[in-house]
Amino acid sequence: MNIIITGTGFAFPDGTGSTSRVIAFSKGILKNGGFVNVICPKPTENHETGDRNIQLKGVYEGIPFEYTCGRRLIASTRFGALFLYLKGLWQSYIAILRIHKNMPVNAIILWYGELPMNFIFYFMVARIIGAFLILEKSEYPFVYSKKTISINMLMMFYEKITLKIIDGVIVISGFLKDYIDKHIGESGKIIEIPIMVDIERFVFDDQKKGPLKNKIIYCGNLDHHSEIINLLKSFKLIANNYPQWSLEIIGQMPDLSTTIHFNQFLKDNVLDGRVIFVGAVSSAKIPEKLIDGDIMVLPRASGIFSSAGFPTKLGEYLSTGKPVIVTTTGNISKYLSDRKNAYLVSPDNVDEFAEALKYVIIHYDEGIEVGQNGREVAIREFDLNIQCKRLLCFIKDLNNTK
């Protein structure tokens, strides 16, 4: 089976959670005997991330990829951005035709298909080559946008047109499955594929199981300011009692104002030196950085973005075999049980999160047992080989029902 993964919602091969999911899909497809190509039609890098994704075309861990716009740096003007986008779409069509000529493409998986131009273009391409078009949904559409007239019109197009004629949708959570099910057309199919992780990247030796380094690790999107501030507040509550413990926060700072905001909080709360903002870490080095920690933390806030989403990093956290403290949002409690395979905390509760940190530090031997149980959950539920086998069967069934 030959599959194209494309869209404007991810960088490649280095990026955020969306990139990790693209890589997981790609590796899983390859390991199950399929073929895959990743196509990025738009530039993805700005002056803050300009050192990422240097290659415009290449192969990453067996995954062929291409920036069809011919440029990785985002244009400085709207006209320039539109030109590169249109160029990237047209060149992606040429690239897909080339791939299809060598081996028929069975399906195109599209990220960010709620944008009409993205959807219409790839819908037409899919129909021209006789492939299925499948949307990937890991977030509620336009969840971070204000509900303006234009956004409402985009939502109407998405619900009344896109979902009515789409061949299939991959959703990451039950919340999104229920939402899509209300709008999808009679011929459209839905598959729920949760977070995925490459377990093989988290096989560590005895040295990594050595003495405690007293290190708490957060890795994720620093755009979610309230989540980071709540984590800092929770750490502040236990910091004086456990002076040997530190907190490392891994992730790209979105802008200078965010950096100033977080640094001021550290200064005001006397946390300088106890909290380290590591910055962006390439996906290739993430396993090593996580395994180097002792406690993994994920303080997801309540809200529709948490209910609909499912944090990719949770799968990587669990794969380390270290204790994980996470808030009970979305599908998390569907897979994890408190003090059995993770430590579950109510969202937006700074005191409760601090108590969980304190408990795991005091009962760290128990924490390791819980962490090992969590790793078993990751192997059983989130392994990319298992989930992508389901995906390939889903695409095969689309062919059987058309």
If you average pLDDT over residues 92-99, what whole number do you get? 98
Same domain for 152 and 163, yes or no, is: yes
Same domain for 273 and 210, yes or no, is: yes
Cα separation, 235 vs 232, whole angstroms: 5
pTM: 0.93
**Cα separation of the two ends of the chain:** 17
Same domain for 209 and 164, yes or no, is: no
Same domain for 175 and 251, yes or no, is: no
Q: What is the pLDDT of residue 207?
A: 36
Same domain for 267 and 242, yes or no, is: yes
Residue 206 has pLDDT above 70, yes or no: no
Q: Identify the DSSP state of 172.
A: S
Helix residue ranges, H only, 32-168: 78-102, 116-129, 149-157, 163-165
Residue 50 has pLDDT above 70, yes or no: no
Same domain for 190 and 208, yes or no, is: no
Cα separation, 173 vs 158, whole angstroms: 19
pLDDT in tens, 238-262: 999 999 999 999 998 878 888 888 9
Q: What is the pLDDT of residue 209?
A: 59
The answer to which of 202-216, 289-303, 320-334 has the lowest mean pLDDT is: 202-216
**Angle ∠(139,71,25) on CA atoms, nearest 5:** 35
Q: Tell me which residue has tokens 């390939």.
A: 392
pLDDT band for position 211 (50/70/90)?
Answer: confident
Q: Which of 229, 290, 219, 217 is nearest to 263 (CA)?
A: 229
Cβ-Cβ contacts under 8 Å for 402 (sequence gap 6 or more): 132, 167, 187
Same domain for 397 and 346, yes or no, is: no
Q: What is the pLDDT of residue 257?
A: 85
Cα separation, 160 vs 164, whole angstroms: 6
**Is the CB of residue 300 less than 8 Å from the CB of residue 227?**
yes
If you average pLDDT over residues 287-311, what whole number do you get? 93
Same domain for 76 and 156, yes or no, is: yes
Same domain for 286 and 256, yes or no, is: yes
Cα separation, 311 vs 213, whole angstroms: 25
Same domain for 127 and 251, yes or no, is: no
Residues in the chain, how many? Answer: 402
Task: Quote the number of domains for the chain.
Answer: 2
Residue 14 is part of a domain; what is its CATH number? 3.40.50.2000
pLDDT band for position 139 (50/70/90)?
Answer: very high
pLDDT in tens, 342-390: 999 999 999 999 999 999 999 999 999 999 999 999 999 999 999 999 9
Same domain for 7 and 156, yes or no, is: yes
The answer to which of 110-114, 208-212, 382-386 has the lowest mean pLDDT is: 208-212
Percent of the chain with pLDDT over 70: 97
Cα separation, 276 vs 101, whole angstroms: 51
Q: What is the pLDDT of residue 272?
A: 87
Residue 49 has pLDDT above 70, yes or no: no
**Is the CB of residue 282 less than 8 Å from the CB of residue 14?**
yes
Q: Which of 101, 114, 175, 166 is nearest to 332 (CA)?
A: 175
Q: Which residue segment(s) compose the domain that 105 sits in? A: 2-196+383-401
Same domain for 338 and 387, yes or no, is: no
Identity of the amino acid at 272: D
If you average pLDDT over residues 269-273, what whole number do you get? 89
Residue 48 has pLDDT above 90, yes or no: no
